[in-house]
Amino acid sequence: MTRNFALFPLMVVITLISLPLMVMYGFLILDTVTDAPPGALWPDEFTLRHWRFLWDMSAAGNVWKATLNTAVLALSMVAVVVPVSSLAGYAIARLNLPYRRFFLGGILVMHAFPAVTLLIGVFFVLKFAGLYNTMIGVILVKGALMLPFGIWIMKGFYDAVPWEIEMAGVQDGASRLTVFRRLILPQVKPGLVALSVFAFLDGWGEYLLPRVLAPGSDMTVMSVLLNGLIAGDDIGYDFNLFKAVGVFYTLPVIALFAIFQNRLMTIFGGGTKG
Amino acid sequence: MRLNLENFTKCFDGTPVIEGLNLTVEDGEMLALLGPSGCGKSTTLLSVCGIYRADGGRILFGGRDVSALPSQRRNVGVVFQNYALYPHLTVEENIAFPLTVQKPRPSAAEIARQVREIAELIHIDALLGRRPAQLSGGQQQRVALARALVRKPDVLLLDEPLANLDAKLRLEMRSEIRRIQLETGITAILVTHDQVEAMSMCDRVAIMDKGEILQIDSPTQMYRSPANRFVAGFLGNPPITFLEGRTGPEGRFSMEAGLTLPLPSHLRGMPSGRPIALGLRPEHFGHGGQGQATGRVTFVEPQGREMLFDVQAAPGVTLRSIQPTRDDVSIGDEVTWKVDADRMLAFDAEGRRL
Ligand SMILES: Nc1ncnc2c1ncn2[C@@H]1O[C@H](COP(=O)(O)OP(=O)(O)O)[C@@H](O)[C@H]1O
Ligand SMILES: [Mg+2]
């Protein structure tokens, strides 16, 4: 109980610092369901008209199609990054690979490498491979760029599993594959969960790659659609519509954080509690 | 099952850690590999179970060469120092794991029966539903033992099994492990750096140093008659005291510091002037014998039933005596106590027993 007292001043400070942010979020949500007279801060009228984009496709474009595209991209990131990272992370952490150090160094460098600088090269490669302006192309490129992060995280989780567990498994007569599947994977489950969420969020929030590599209207994702709302030629943006679409876009992110917040912390702690 | 190591050699990064080691463990015997940390005990053990591949020589189980077989096909049970239980499985699932990966896989009823049987033998039948994190150190140790024994291995290997337990549990598990080994009649190797463990649990002890086996003998024989100075110094607590000096005339031994003692009777004929070292165990000083030493008591350590005395017999020469507790001697007293010269151990300049 004394611990809570010690934490109290800290919590006050954190609350004060994040107050402006909270106010802004408050208004963001408030503005999507109200109208205010020009120039006024406080709204005077409740309305759902800013949410009309949900059924009126002329308001902000085909939001549902964009949501579907974004979900496809995000889920594909999970489907690509998690299996590859969990296998590659294990190999890097445990197996006596040739060129292991080279791989390790390579992963670190690629993790730190700014992806934007690769964009033009990637563009030409995709054009050449016939994957330009396809969702597959975006998924492959985005997945490849995220893998170093995923592999590195998973390696950390595998490193925390004692060697002896593996030896004991082999000694008990199980093959390396059985040991991996039945004894090692369950122990890095917190890592798998956290990495899945991160991969999903990363795909969900991606803007640059779909914008550049798949500009076709069929492939529009939410971030691009949102950008289109204020980057149009016509003057007189509908800011409240923009905010409403933004909140709609953010809802799954908030939901995921709410569900997985404890698990996500393990990625930074590297622990295997729970 | 009888276990042989023939000319076994193991290198790490090209440097041999163990070279040409020979060892036989008889069927149903429990042998201790005893030696200081880093002498290659674990390396030997992990090579027997197949986790390390031998770089030379052969490993035989019951006469069958298993050197080329992977761990999975050697049928060896291993208890690791930190137990290596599977944290996400219950005790029952932990013990059942070796059976569930067998081919063909036994029926669920058969697995349950065997798990129950071994759990009863090891007295953990009440714990089957728990997870490793909910067990005490001693209980984890038992589970690890059950898991190693459940598929009836040819050989049981224990790597420092008691090192992580507190003193009381260690005493209890010492006799438990021995009981289980005797009841199952399994051939076992116990790796330890603790002489008490090795001597109290095993039929024979192999003393290792720097990748070499120096002596293999029964605990009593090894204590009474060590092959060399290292073995004599390693066994015994409180340890033996070594006295460096030369043989003198008339079957005597003298040190530069001034102490002289009679030589053990079988060495009385030695020419004088030879450098030798005598080893005097604390229980052979102050209990009778032909020799005697006089000195000042510099330290007294009461241990309850016994007392340990340090006696400075000459400048820089401290003899140690262990005796039943007595009140008539205290620090600073001058004492003259008998030295049992015939029970002293003599070593030449190279450390070989004379
Ligand atoms: N995997 C390894 N790689 C390199 N050297 C090792 C390895 N394992 C053990 N050694 C070395 O081999 C020697 C014996 O080690 P070990 O068998 O673990 O000793 P202990 O008798 O304490 O169990 C030590 O000098 C150790 O440094
Ligand atoms: Mg060791």
- Domain hosting B150: range is 3-226
pLDDT of residue A138: 94
Q: Residue A266 pLDDT > 90, yes or no?
A: no
* Closest C-alpha to ligand 1, atom 24: B38
Q: Residue B142 pLDDT > 50, yes or no?
A: yes
Cα–Cα distance between B19 and B13 in angstroms, integer? 14
Residue B310 near residue B329, CB atoms below 8 Å: no
In this prediction, what percent of chain A has a pLDDT beyond 70? 93
pLDDT of residue A4: 59
pLDDT of residue B273: 86
- Among residues B184, B48, B97, B186, which one has the least CA distance to residue A168? B97
DSSP state of B133: G
Q: Does B101 contact A172 at a Cβ distance shorter than 8 Å? A: yes
pLDDT of residue A233: 59
Q: Which of B8, B9, B12 to mutate to test the pocket of ligand 1 (most atoms within 8 A of CB)?
A: B12
Q: Binning pLDDT at 50, 70 and 90, where does residue B59 land?
A: very high
Q: Does A171 contact B76 at a Cβ distance shorter than 8 Å? A: yes
- Among residues B40, B54, B39, which one has the least CA distance to residue B9? B54
User: Number of structural domains, chain B?
Assistant: 2
What tens digit of pLDDT does each residue of B85-141 get? 999 999 999 999 999 999 899 999 999 999 999 999 999 999 999 999 999 989 999
User: What is the position in ligand 1's atom list of the atom closest to the CA of B160?
Assistant: 23
pLDDT of residue A8: 85
Distance A104 CA to ligand 1 centre (A): 26
What tens digit of pLDDT does each residue of B197-240 get? 999 999 999 999 999 999 999 999 999 999 999 999 999 988 99
Residue with tokens 């107050």, as numbered in its chain? A19
Residues B205 and B333 in one domain: no
Nearest beta carbon to residue B88 from set A164, A174, A186: A186
- Among residues B39, B36, B72, B66, which one has the least CA distance to residue B54? B66
Chains A–B, number of C-beta pairs less than 8 Å apart = 55
A173 contacts in B (CB within 8 Å)?
72, 75, 98, 101-102, 151
Residue with tokens 């067998």, as numbered in its chain? B102
Pocket of ligand 1 (CB under 6 A): B 12, 17, 35, 37-43
Q: What is the 3-state secondary structure (H, E, C) of chain A?
A: CHHHHHHHHHHHHHHHHHHHHHHHHHHHHHHHCEECCCCCCCCCEECCHHHHHHCCHHHHCCHHHHHHHHHHHHHHHHHHHHHHHHHHHHHHHHCCCCCHHHHHHHHHHHHHCCHHHHHHHHHHHHHHHCCCCCHHHHHHHHHHHHHHHHHHHHHHHHHCCCHHHHHHHHHCCCCHHHHHHHHHHHHHHHHHHHHHHHHHHHHHHCCHHHHHHCCCHHHCCHHHHHHHHHCCCCCCCCHHHHHHHHHHHHHHHHHHHHHHHHHHHHHHHCCCCC
Asked whether residue B57 is domain-assigned, the answer is yes
- Among residues A148, A176, A170, which one has the least CA distance to residue A92? A148
Distance B43 CA to ligand 1 centre (A): 6
- The domains of chain A are located at 63-268
B51 contacts in A (CB within 8 Å)?
167, 170-171
Q: A222, exposed or middle or buried, with CB in 10 Å at 0-12, 13-18, 19+? A: buried
Distance B34 CA to ligand 1 centre (A): 15
Mean pLDDT within A222-246: 81
pLDDT of residue A236: 62
Residue with tokens 């040190």, as numbered in its chain? B255
Asked whether residue B265 is domain-assigned, the answer is yes
- Among residues B237, B198, B233, which one has the least CA distance to residue B218? B198
Residue A249 near residue A173, CB atoms below 8 Å: no
- Whether omega before B238 lies within 30 degrees of 0, making that bond cis, reads yes
Nearest beta carbon to residue A172 from set B51, B70, B147: B147
Closest ligand to the CA of B39 = 1
In this prediction, what percent of chain B has a pLDDT beyond 70? 100
pLDDT of residue A273: 40
Interface of chain B against chain A, CB under 8 Å? 46, 49-51, 70-72, 75-78, 80-82, 84, 86-88, 97-98, 101-102, 147-148, 151
Residue A225 near residue A232, CB atoms below 8 Å: no
Residues B115 and B13 in one domain: yes
Distance A54 CA to ligand 1 centre (A): 67
Cα–Cα distance between A253 and B204 in angstroms, integer? 66
Q: A102, exposed or middle or buried, with CB in 10 Å at 0-12, 13-18, 19+? A: exposed
Mean pLDDT within A179-188: 94
User: What is the position in ligand 1's atom list of the atom closest to the CA of B46?
Assistant: 17
Residues B305 and B167 in one domain: no
Q: Does B101 contact A170 at a Cβ distance shorter than 8 Å? A: no
Which CATH code for domain A63-268? Answer: 1.10.3720.10
CB atoms within 10 A of CB B271: 7
Asked whether residue B235 is domain-assigned, the answer is no
Asked whether residue B246 is domain-assigned, the answer is yes
Nearest beta carbon to residue A187 from set B72, B88, B148: B88
Distance B11 CA to ligand 1 centre (A): 10
CA angle A103–A107–A112, rounded 5-degree value: 150
Q: Does B86 contact A183 at a Cβ distance shorter than 8 Å? A: yes
Q: Residue A37 pLDDT > 80, yes or no?
A: yes
The two tokens of residue A201 are 């969020």
Q: Does B71 contact A169 at a Cβ distance shorter than 8 Å? A: no
Q: How much is the CA Rg of chain B, to the nearest whole Å?
A: 25
Q: Residue B78 pLDDT > 90, yes or no?
A: yes
Residue with tokens 């917040």, as numbered in its chain? A261
Q: Does A173 contact B72 at a Cβ distance shorter than 8 Å? A: yes
Q: Does B78 contact A168 at a Cβ distance shorter than 8 Å? A: yes
User: What is the position in ligand 1's atom list of the atom closest to the CA of B45?
Assistant: 17
The CATH number of the domain where B52 resides is what?
3.40.50.300
What tens digit of pLDDT does each residue of A69-94 get? 999 999 999 999 999 999 999 999 98
Residue with tokens 């030879």, as numbered in its chain? B274
Residues B206 and B268 in one domain: no
Asked whether residue B236 is domain-assigned, the answer is no
The two tokens of residue B231 are 């073995």
Q: Which of B226, B254, B282 is the last residue of a domain?
A: B226
Asked whether residue B171 is domain-assigned, the answer is yes
Greater confidence, B272 or B8?
B8
The residues that bridge with B24 in the sheet, in sequence order, are B4
Q: Binning pLDDT at 50, 70 and 90, where does residue A271 land?
A: very low
User: Which amino acid would we find at residue B79?
Assistant: V
Distance B159 CA to ligand 2 centre (A): 7
At A39, give phi and psi (nearest 5°). 85, -15
Residues B85 and B49 in one domain: yes
Residues B152 and B246 in one domain: no
pLDDT of residue A232: 63
Q: Which of B202, B226, B250 is the last residue of a domain?
A: B226
Q: Does A172 contact B49 at a Cβ distance shorter than 8 Å? A: no
Residues B218 and B325 in one domain: no
What tens digit of pLDDT does each residue of A135-160 get? 999 999 999 999 999 999 999 999 99
What tens digit of pLDDT does each residue of B300-325 get? 999 999 999 999 998 889 999 999 99
The CATH number of the domain where B303 resides is what?
2.40.50.100
Encode A243-252: b = buried (16+ Cβ within 10 Å), e = exposed. bbbebbbbeb
Asked whether residue B308 is domain-assigned, the answer is yes
Mean pLDDT within A178-198: 93
Q: Which residue of A has its CA nearest to B157?
A: A171
The two tokens of residue B22 are 């020979």
Residue with tokens 């390579």, as numbered in its chain? A106
Residue B10 near residue B47, CB atoms below 8 Å: yes
Q: CB-hemisphere CA count at 13 Å for B171?
A: 2
Residues B128 and B73 in one domain: yes
Residues B211 and B326 in one domain: no
- Whether omega before B104 lies within 30 degrees of 0, making that bond cis, reads yes
User: What is the position in ligand 1's atom list of the atom closest to the CA of B208?
Assistant: 21
Residues B61 and B170 in one domain: yes
What tens digit of pLDDT does each residue of B168-178 get? 888 999 999 99
Residue with tokens 């592999």, as numbered in its chain? A151
Q: B140, exposed or middle or buried, with CB in 10 Å at 0-12, 13-18, 19+? A: buried
Residue with tokens 């060399």, as numbered in its chain? B228
Asked whether residue B58 is domain-assigned, the answer is yes
Cα–Cα distance between A174 and B78 in angstroms, integer? 14
